[in-house]
Structure 1
Amino acid sequence: MQFHQTKKPLPHAVVAGLDDYPGLQTARLLAKRGIPVIGVARHQHLFFCRTNVCEKILYLNTERDEFIEGLVNLGKQFEQKAVLFPSTDMCVLRISRHREALAPYYHIALPKPEVVEKLMNKLGFLEYALQEKLPIPKTFLLRNRAEAEQAANELNFPCILKPPMKTATWEKHTTIKAYKLASAGEFLKMYDQCCGWADILIAQEWIPGPDSNLYSCNCYFDANAEPLVTFTARKLRQWPPETGSTSLGEECRNDVVLNAALQLFKKENWHGLGYLEMKRDARTGAHYIIEPNIGRPTGRSALAEACGVELLSTMYCDQVGLPLPENRTQKYAGVKWICLLEDLRSAHVYWRRGDLTLKEWWQSLRGKKTYADFSWSDPMPFLTDIQRRLAFKFKALREKIFSRKAAPNFVAPKSLNAAPAMASRHG
């Protein structure tokens, strides 16, 4: 659906959380439809902010009051209410908690605040899932070392260790969103390492199966909790492997996941964007809920648009009262979505492990695709990211060369034990 120039200008779309792939993709997709876009980002130095699709970009800390104050000041400049597209969990939470201050200036597609709090926080969702008897992996909440030891005795390994939410404190220490641990010893060692990064940690049994057993459903519900558009897809690879975000995915049909998503969100009188990810157990074929993502676009939102399912345009039109796009039905054409640079890293790991041949890798890339990072009309984010990665690799290589040259002249004190250097998380 392409919006044409009219006497009355279209309301703005404000993408909060531009400095991540979902935010960048959302801005590109809306701008492509002719919708004026303003971005809000936390990190000015990140390559996402080199995009050319935004009229302007505001830099605000999403975890501080300046985020809401900045949105209010921006909203006062609009002649008509803009549509808010929060693109990170923290943006969704902050907007939900301050919706009364934002409502005069923005259309906000979110359900009641208590529903957002319940489904956004993994702890709240786990309590809800247990109460509603939803299919989730065996789970333990870890508040202290004693509870971690109890979980280690009762869990089947491997297992996953993760925080309820990736906060600034967590991201200060790692970019990993979840750790896969093979034994009780590994589990307790990792717990000791990261227990200070979050008040509570979550331990879950690992559901066996490859990345391609991870299915998802994106959807948008109107103010009456009616689903106006749905879209199902699956991962093919992710970065980091097994526990990360999608690096290569494709649309597919999975009515089990579709029906589970509709049932979950309709029961909560959902309004706005919703996403449910489930994994099919390779042993039994049963599907288990991995996580919901609520109130924001995901990587698969762009895949939906590439497949002719206008997910984000539907939300925009519904919010501003324009006729809905005609293309809201999935046709299952097998289109793929790829984050090119991250998928190269993922494929390299699988190849080194012997889980992926060069032929299989090439075949996985064939067919119609849409890109998370690359765009002919908006090339600077991709090119800047390549430049960043090359600079990091060159720096690491240079340090390695100089350290080798210096090594013969260095004698370690006998009283000290050598320790391996920690690899940088950058890039």
Structure 2
Amino acid sequence: MLMNQPYVIILANGLNGLGAVRSAAQAGLRTYTLLTSQTDLSAYSRYGQYRFLLPENPGLHDIKPVLDHLYHNENGPGVLIACSDLSAELLGRLKTEGYSNHHLIVPSSETTELLNDKKLECLSMEEGGITLPKTYYDLGNNVPESFPLIIKPRTFREYSVLGAKNVIVNAREELDEFCERFHGQLDCFIAQEVIEGDDDNLWVCNVTFGLNRELVACFVFNRLGTMPSHYGVTSLAISRQNQVLRDECAKIGMALNYSGPAMIEFKKDQNTGIYYYIETNPRLGMCNWFDTRCGINNILACTQVAYGNTVAFAPQKNNRVYWNFFGDLVARLEDRENVCAVLYRYIGLLRYRQVAALFYWKDPHPAFVYSRASVKDIFTRVKRRLFGKSA
């Protein structure tokens, strides 16, 4: 049992933050939630009753007064949890500054900034002997050997430059068009060969590393669907044990000198069976509520590390399905999958125990808010498909 009246301070964002708030509540931890929007999903949760609103793009001068207030109000430190790339950078900078009013179970700012820059991240992994897809760092001069390629912004700040999280190019002509379109901005991107395989070759490990960089908690799941399809975030998944990836995560943590939560992604080549490293997000994973419902609570793990307690979890519960129904359905419709095939797949998944991405009977309001917006979005897309863009 945890001592010293532990509490957590969650820098919430979307599904990540909602899952973190619920996971903290399930662990019996008192929770303060820092939001950058009054309409964030966590704002509708009954477990996020103590909330602070920050500016849209907060800096240290915005967050420090709130943290200092909580420290004095609670007569002691809490545990800071990042749920977005931006908040991970903020916590890394606090750690580098030597901020000590709260527990910072996070990597250094150097590690966080390295992982938030795809070019620096991939170069570092190559040097550490991690298996990556063929990667091109200089699109203006490197001639790719094969296609298709996935082009990624180097950091989350370049999403606005690209207008998306990634772009797929299937031939040299498409790459030439891309390079012409973004001439003068090509240093903002890297490209990687697309590993052959469907969505069920995608794997995710939501992990926590201790103060000695050891792997103290690890939840593994196999993606079955993403939004958008094939190259997006998890919309459908199943929990499955994978010792090969657990071992790989332990190696990555030691190589990065990493402490704190992380989300590490891999893809298995359907022809060779080789697992390729895709990326590490230096923050809590989006599906952390799935972790918790399968017996591995990474919020609790971070808190136990912070308060000097032993982290001990039973093996994860396997063959449970994570399901973001509306998100997955929209992604499949956009990908023009056969509707009957989609329904047949969904019916087949009903034999497994479900973990809904949004709905939780003890905390239903966020799901209703999300579902209302999703239904409206689906009707808009259907009207556009039937009647054209003017609808």
C-alpha displacement of 1:392: 4.8
Partner Cα separation in structure 2 for residue 422 and residue 190 of structure 1: 28
Contact (CA 8 Å) 2:137, 2:191: kept in 1 or not?
yes
C-alpha displacement of 1:71: 3.7
Alignment correspondent of 2:240: 252
State yes or no: 1:320 paired with 2:311.
no
Question: What are the within-5 Å matches in structure 2 for residues 361-372 of structure 1?
Answer: 361-372=346-357
Partner Cα separation in structure 1 for residue 254 and residue 179 of structure 2: 36
**2:320 aligns with one of 335, 342, 347:** 335
Identify unmatched segments of 5+ residues in structure 2.
Answer: none
C-alpha displacement of 1:366: 3.2
- TM-aligned CA distance change 1:384 to 1:161, over 3 Å: same
Alignment correspondent of 1:200: 188
Alignment correspondent of 1:263: 251
Render the CA deviation track for 1:4-48: whole Å, top value 9, x for unaligned: xx9x7x2321110x2311111011110122211111122223444
Alignment correspondent of 1:220: 208
State yes or no: 1:20 paired with 2:14.
yes
Question: What are the within-5 Å matches in structure 2 for residues 24-423 of structure 1?
Answer: 24-60=18-54, 61-75=56-70, 76-99=72-95, 103-142=99-138, 147-148=139-140, 150-151=141-142, 153-167=143-157, 170-171=159-160, 174=163, 176-193=164-181, 200-294=188-282, 296-321=283-308, 323-324=309-310, 326=312, 328-349=313-334, 352=337, 356-392=341-377
Q: 3-state SS of the aligned residue for 2:137?
A: strand
**One-letter amino acid of the structure 1 residue matched with residue 288 of structure 2:** S
Partner Cα separation in structure 2 for residue 94 and residue 280 of structure 1: 33
Render the CA deviation track for 1:300-322: whole Å, top value 9, x for unaligned: 4322221222332121122124x
Q: 3-state SS of the aligned residue for 2:226?
A: strand
C-alpha displacement of 1:91: 0.6
Partner Cα separation in structure 1 for residue 221 and residue 111 of structure 2: 25
C-alpha displacement of 1:83: 0.6
- TM-aligned CA distance change 1:246 to 1:73, over 3 Å: same
- TM-aligned CA distance change 1:398 to 1:92, over 3 Å: same
- Using the size of structure 1 for normalisation, the TM-score is 0.81
Contact (CA 8 Å) 1:347, 1:361: kept in 2 or not?
no
Identify unmatched segments of 5+ residues in structure 1.
Answer: 405-419
Partner Cα separation in structure 1 for residue 161 and residue 37 of structure 2: 14
Q: 3-state SS of the aligned residue for 1:98?
A: helix
- Using the size of structure 2 for normalisation, the TM-score is 0.88
**One-letter amino acid of the structure 1 residue matched with residue 85 of structure 2:** D
Render the CA deviation track for 1:373-409: whole Å, top value 9, x for unaligned: 11222222111122223445667789999xx8xxxxx
Partner Cα separation in structure 1 for residue 65 and residue 176 of structure 2: 43
Contact (CA 8 Å) 1:19, 1:46: kept in 2 or not?
yes
- TM-aligned CA distance change 1:301 to 1:386, over 3 Å: closer
Partner Cα separation in structure 2 for residue 344 and residue 400 of structure 1: 15
Q: How many residues align?
A: 389
Partner Cα separation in structure 2 for residue 421 and residue 183 of structure 1: 28
Contact (CA 8 Å) 1:233, 1:300: kept in 2 or not?
no
Contact (CA 8 Å) 1:229, 1:329: kept in 2 or not?
no
- Tell which deviates more after alignment, 73-82 or 239-248: 73-82
- TM-aligned CA distance change 1:235 to 1:365, over 3 Å: farther
Partner Cα separation in structure 1 for residue 176 and residue 23 of structure 2: 44
Contact (CA 8 Å) 1:72, 1:102: kept in 2 or not?
no
**One-letter amino acid of the structure 2 residue matched with residue 160 of structure 1:** I
Contact (CA 8 Å) 2:225, 2:234: kept in 1 or not?
yes
- TM-aligned CA distance change 1:137 to 1:384, over 3 Å: same
Alignment correspondent of 1:407: none
Render the CA deviation track for 1:117-140: whole Å, top value 9, x for unaligned: 333321211121232232111111
Contact (CA 8 Å) 2:326, 2:374: kept in 1 or not?
no
**One-letter amino acid of the structure 1 residue matched with residue 151 of structure 2:** L
Contact (CA 8 Å) 1:14, 1:85: kept in 2 or not?
yes
- TM-aligned CA distance change 1:246 to 1:195, over 3 Å: farther
Superposition RMSD in Å: 3.1
- Tell which deviates more after alignment, 86-95 or 330-339: 330-339
C-alpha displacement of 1:51: 1.7
- TM-aligned CA distance change 1:48 to 1:284, over 3 Å: same
Partner Cα separation in structure 2 for residue 269 and residue 64 of structure 1: 25
Partner Cα separation in structure 1 for residue 251 and residue 340 of structure 2: 36
Contact (CA 8 Å) 2:13, 2:83: kept in 1 or not?
no
Contact (CA 8 Å) 2:202, 2:268: kept in 1 or not?
yes
**One-letter amino acid of the structure 2 residue matched with residue 158 of structure 1:** P
Q: 3-state SS of the aligned residue for 2:190?
A: strand
